[in-house]
Structure 1
Amino acid sequence: MKLLTSAVLAVLIGCSSVAANEFQNELTALASGKIAEIAGSSEVVSAVKAQNEQTAGYDQAKIDELDKQWRAEADAADQPMIDKVLENDLSAYLADAQGASDGLFTEIFVMDAKGLNVGQSDVTSDYWQGDEAKWKETFLKGKGAVHVGDLEQDESTQMLQSQVSVSVTDPASGETIGAVTFGVNVDEL
């Protein structure tokens, strides 16, 4: 029985890898097209630069405190920190971009140089993304970096999606200043 379970698990893992690779080229092309266009927009760049000035002095303890507050608010009726982010100009821009994608983008969120959310189209489960590959594989690698996440199936919608992340670069200096992540409905590619 143990051998059969291992064999089934190996097949499932193998299928998962094949499925993830199946969309790699299309997702990478999307990253260098529409996603790069949004990531390089003046709305994204100016908001990230402004927040980087504000958060430059934050240490890990401050980041952890903010992330803890965000997570607590995510389950609460009163959400002042979350509301402040969702109601900013960048979040409105991202929500419009998501809406204009005709179902291709399931979420969009922008992170600063610390990995903290700057703006988002929908509420994220946490405020700090700096410990995750979506930020590490883009911001830390610099200009032009792309990270394509694994395919995941949303249990409630049965939608197959992947996260595609790219670095955000200041066009004036060429400096990498943040990152942006897009949830992509691969059925819409």
Structure 2
Amino acid sequence: MARFLPVLLAAATLVLPFTATANEFEPQIRSLIEDEVRPWLNDAAVVDAIAAQNKRHASLDPEQIEELDEQWGAEVDEGEGPLVDKVMDNALSDFLSTKKSELGGRVSEVFVMDNKGLNVGASNLTSDYYQGDEAKWQESYGTGRMHIGEVEFDDSAEAFLSQVSLPIEDPSSGEAIGAITLGVNVEELF
């Protein structure tokens, strides 16, 4: 069955837009998140990094956010730069890379966003710095709810992924401070 899963998933993606709106892997995804991911969302590596960036970015306006996103895109094209390095070479990114490895292929990427939807840390380089205009941030940050995206084939991961996002709260106050997104490889959930 496992070797036929990619073919079944490919066929399902052709039919899903017309027949279903729910992610059929939701029970397995929820189990992974609740059992193995949620416990480390209160870790100081996550909370402290978000809190520090929220403080640094408190006065950013929409134009500055757009400029940062454009800078990020240019640096991604070059493969390096001060903004990319600041996000990819920090303690949170190291923490997320370790956690991704511990999940044994079930997650292809993990990234954390601040209260504006800007990347704080990531296991893999993202195409955008600003996630605040996307469902992954809008439907998780400050909502108290998990957002589970549809299964789609991801060219860079060469796998069928569902992006799953959760809010991150300050453990002492319960206040929303950021969000996390994981690219869950549904082929590896079985």
Same fold? TM cut 0.5 = yes
Q: CA deviation at 1:158?
A: 4.0
What amino acid does structure 2 have at the position aligned with 1:161? L
What percent identity do the matched residue pairs reach?
A: 46
- In the aligned structure 2, how far is the partner of 1:164 from the partner of 1:137? 10
Q: Does 1:89 align with 2:108?
A: no
- In the aligned structure 2, how far is the partner of 1:154 from the partner of 1:102? 18
2:151 matched residue in structure 1: 151
Offset from partner CA, 1:100-155 (integer Å, 9 cap, x none)? 111011000000000000000010001000000110011131x3x10001101123
Shift in CA distance, 12/66, structure 1 to aligned 2, threshold 3 Å: same
Segments of structure 1 that go 5 or more residues without pairing to the other structure are 1-8
Partner of residue 59 from structure 1, selected from 58, 61, 64: 61
After TM superposition, the score normalised by the length of structure 1 is 0.87
- In the aligned structure 2, how far is the partner of 1:157 from the partner of 1:109? 15
Q: After TM superposition, what 4+ stretches of structure 1 lie above 3 angstroms from structure 2?
A: 9-12, 155-158
Task: Give aligned pairs, total.
Answer: 177
Q: Does 1:109 align with 2:118?
A: no
Higher Cα Rg: structure 1 or 2?
1
Query: Secondary structure at 2:115's aligned position in 1?
Result: coil
Q: Does 1:13 align with 2:10?
A: no
What amino acid does structure 1 have at the position aligned with 2:149? G
Q: CA deviation at 1:40?
A: 2.2
After TM superposition, the score normalised by the length of structure 2 is 0.86
- In the aligned structure 2, how far is the partner of 1:104 from the partner of 1:42? 24
1:180 matched residue in structure 2: 180
Offset from partner CA, 1:46-80 (integer Å, 9 cap, x none)? 11111111111111111001001001111114422
Higher alpha-carbon deviation: 155-164 or 64-73: 155-164
